C-alpha cells in the first residue's frame, strides 16, 4: 500500500516514525527537542511560541526522513491552546496543556454555568485547569485586550495539521482532540458555542470535527494529512486497545481509561468522557496519587528510589501483614477528598518492618487505581484486559501485585513511541480508506491465576480501612 509517517509533538520534543502502511513495521525514526525559551532563573516559560513546534518538526524530519512518505498523521500534546486573530496569526503564545495558572478560572467557570453536574451533562467533563475552555476564561480575565482579538482557537495538533497543509481556509480537528476542550460533547458530537462565549466573552471560529479515517487535506505535493489527534488517543490507537481493554497510566498521578461503545455522562464529574480516534469512546478516571506515593514511601524509608522500594516490597507477602496505606498524600480526586491526607493503618508489632510498609505502598497505589477502575465497571464498562503504562510498570512489585488486585490479565507493553505509531496508523487509514489491522504492541502478559482470591482479600482489607476512615466517600461517584 505504501509508506506513512506518524508525528508526535509532545511538550518537550518531536518524534517521527516512518512505517510500512500495510504492517505497521517501523522503517526509520526521527527525533528533535523543542527549542524552548527559559525564564530568568533557568525555569521553562509557561507559554510557548508554536513556531517552536514547527522548528522541532523540521529538525526531526531532516536528512530526507520523509522521502517516499504518502501520508502523515499528527499527534500532539493535549489541551494546548493556540489563540488566533482574524488573519490566522497567533494573538499570543500558546498556553500548554499542563498550565496550572488557570485553576481559579476553572472554579469560576463551574460556578458560572451552574455547577459540576451542569458541565458533566453538557460536555461530559467538569472544567479543570488544563482544559482549553478554562484557558479562554483565564485570558478573558487576565489578558482582556488579547482575548478581544481572538477570532479562532485551535489545539496543538489542529494547528500543526493546518500549517502542514499551508494554512487553508478550512480548519479541522478530530473527535479525540475536540472531546478534551470543554466545549464539545462526545455524547452529542456537537460543539457548545455558548460555553465558548461564557468563557471568552464572545464567539470564536472552531475547527470542523472530522470523522475517523478522514483526511484533513492534501498538500500541493500530493501528501495526505490525516485528521490528527491528541496524544492520549494516539497512544491508545498505537497500542491497539479495543473494547474490553483498559489502560492504567502510572505517573506521579494515575489514570484509568477504557474503550467503550458510548459516552458516559457522570453527574459527579469523576468520569471524563473523551472520544477516541476510531469512533469509540474513552471514559477516563483520574487519581492524584500513584508513583508519588511510592516516592514518598521510599523517602520515608531512606531508600534511593522506587526500584529499591520494589526490591524491599518483594520480601513481604500479599496483604503486607495487615498494613494498609491509603495513599491520599495530595488529597484525592477519586474518591473526591481534596483535603485528605494519607493514612497508615494496621500497625502491630509484627507488621512494623520496612518490607511491609514498602509492600503496603504498592498495594495502596494499585488498590486506589482499582477503585478508579471499579467506577468505570460500575457504569457497565467491560474490563477484560489491562494495559499498564509508565516506567513503574516494569517494577517487580507492581507486576506481582497488579494482576491479583485488578482481577484480570495485565499487559505490560514494551517501551515504544505509541503516540507516534498511532498517528502513523491514522495516516494509513486516511491513505487506504480502511482501518489498518496492524499487529498489537509487543508485551509481557501477566495473569492473576491462583492468586485472584488473595488479591480480592487485599482489596477488601483496603476497602474496609477506606470506609472506616472516609465513610461514604464513593457513594455518589460515577453516578
Spatial separation of the C-alpha atoms in residues 187 and 445, rounded to whole Å: 34
Number of helices and strands (H, E) in the chain? 15, 22
Spatial separation of the C-alpha atoms in residues 140 and 148, rounded to whole Å: 8
Q: How would you write the pLDDT of the chain (479 residues) with one tens digit per residue?
A: 699 999 999 999 999 999 999 999 999 999 999 987 765 555 566 899 999 999 999 999 999 999 999 999 999 999 999 999 999 999 999 999 888 899 999 999 999 999 999 999 999 999 999 999 999 999 999 999 999 999 999 999 999 999 999 999 999 999 999 999 999 999 999 999 999 999 999 999 999 999 999 999 999 999 999 999 999 999 999 999 999 999 999 999 999 999 999 999 898 889 999 999 999 999 999 999 999 999 999 999 999 999 999 999 999 999 999 999 999 999 999 999 999 999 999 999 999 999 999 999 999 999 999 999 999 999 999 999 999 999 999 999 999 999 999 999 999 999 999 999 999 999 999 999 999 999 888 899 999 999 999 999 999 999 999 999 999 999 878 76
C-alpha radius of gyration, the chain, whole number: 23
71-93 in b/e burial notation, b at 16+ Cβ within 10 A?
Answer: bbbbbbbbbbbbbbeeebebbbb
Spatial separation of the C-alpha atoms in residues 168 and 18, rounded to whole Å: 25
pTM: 0.93
CB 389, CB 414: distance < 8 Å = no
The phi and psi torsions of 197 (rounded to 5 degrees) equal -65, -40
Q: How far is CA 164 from CA 6, 123, 277, in A?
A: 13, 30, 20
Amino acid at each position: 500500500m505504501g509508506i506513512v509517517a506518524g508525528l508526535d509533538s509532545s511538550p518537550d520534543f518531536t518524534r517521527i516514525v516512518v512505517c510500512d502502511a500495510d504492517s505497521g513495521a517501523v522503517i526509520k525514526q526521527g527525533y528533535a527537542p523543542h527549542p524552548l525559551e527559559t525564564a530568568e532563573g533557568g525555569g521553562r516559560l509557561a507559554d510557548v511560541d508554536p513556531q517552536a513546534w514547527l522548528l522541532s518538526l523540521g529538525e526531526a524530519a531532516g536528512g530526507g526522513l520523509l522521502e517516499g512518505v504518502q501520508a502523515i498523521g499528527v499527534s500532539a500534546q493535549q489541551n494546548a491552546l493556540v489563540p488566533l486573530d482574524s488573519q490566522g496569526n497567533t494573538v499570543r503564545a500558546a498556553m500548554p496543556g499542563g498550565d496550572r495558572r488557570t485553576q481559579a478560572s476553572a472554579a469560576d467557570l463551574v460556578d458560572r454555568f451552574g455547577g459540576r453536574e451542569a458541565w458533566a451533562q453538557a460536555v461530559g467533563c467538569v472544567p479543570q485547569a488544563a482544559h482549553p475552555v478554562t484557558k479562554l476564561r483565564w485570558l478573558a480575565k487576565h489578558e482582556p485586550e488579547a482575548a478581544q482579538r481572538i477570532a479562532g482557537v485551535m489545539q496543538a495538533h489542529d494547528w500543526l495539521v493546518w500549517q502542514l497543509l499551508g494554512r487553508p481556509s478550512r480548519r479541522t480537528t478530530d473527535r479525540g482532540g475536540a472531546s478534551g476542550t470543554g466545549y464539545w460533547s462526545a455524547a452529542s458530537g456537537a460543539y457548545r458555542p455558548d460555553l465558548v462565549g461564557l468563557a471568552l466573552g464572545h464567539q470564536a471560529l472552531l475547527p470542523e470535527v472530522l470523522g475517523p479515517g478522514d483526511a484533513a487535506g492534501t498538500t500541493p505535493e500530493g501528501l495526505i494529512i490525516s485528521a490528527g489527534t491528541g496524544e492520549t488517543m494516539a497512544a491508545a490507537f498505537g497500542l491497539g486497545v479495543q473494547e474490553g481493554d483498559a489502560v492504567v497510566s502510572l505517573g506521579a498521578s494515575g489514570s484509568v481509561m477504557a474503550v467503550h461503545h458510548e459516552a458516559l455522562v457522570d453527574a459527579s464529574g469523576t468520569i471524563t468522557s473523551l472520544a477516541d480516534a476510531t469512533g469509540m469512546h474513552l471514559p477516563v478516571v483520574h487519581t492524584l496519587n500513584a508513583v508519588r506515593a511510592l516516592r514518598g514511601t521510599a523517602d520515608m524509608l531512606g531508600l534511593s528510589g522506587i526500584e529499591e522500594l520494589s526490591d524491599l516490597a518483594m520480601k513481604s507477602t500479599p496483604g503486607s501483614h495487615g498494613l494498609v496505606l491509603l495513599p491520599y498524600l495530595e488529597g484525592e480526586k477519586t474518591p473526591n477528598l481534596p483535603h485528605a491526607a494519607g493514612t497508615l493503618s494496621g500497625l502491630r508489632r509484627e507488621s512494623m518492618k520496612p518490607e511491609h510498609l514498602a509492600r503496603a505502598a504498592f498495594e495502596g497505589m494499585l488498590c486506589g487505581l482499582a477503585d478508579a477502575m471499579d467506577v468505570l465497571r460500575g457504569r457497565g464498562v467491560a474490563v477484560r484486559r489491562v494495559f499498564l503504562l509508565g516506567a513503574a510498570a516494569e517494577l517487580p512489585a507492581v507486576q506481582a501485585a497488579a494482576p491479583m488486585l485488578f482481577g484480570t490479565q495485565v499487559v505490560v507493553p514494551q517501551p515504544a513511541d505509541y503516540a507516534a505509531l498511532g498517528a502513523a496508523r491514522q495516516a494509513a487509514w486516511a491513505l487506504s480508506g480502511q482501518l489498518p489491522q496492524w499487529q498489537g504492541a509487543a508485551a509481557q502478559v501477566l495473569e492473576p491465576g491462583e492468586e485472584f482470591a488473595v488479591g480480592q482479600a487485599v482489596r477488601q482489607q483496603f476497602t474496609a480501612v477506606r470506609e472506616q476512615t472516609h465513610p461514604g466517600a464513593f457513594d455518589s461517584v460515577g453516578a
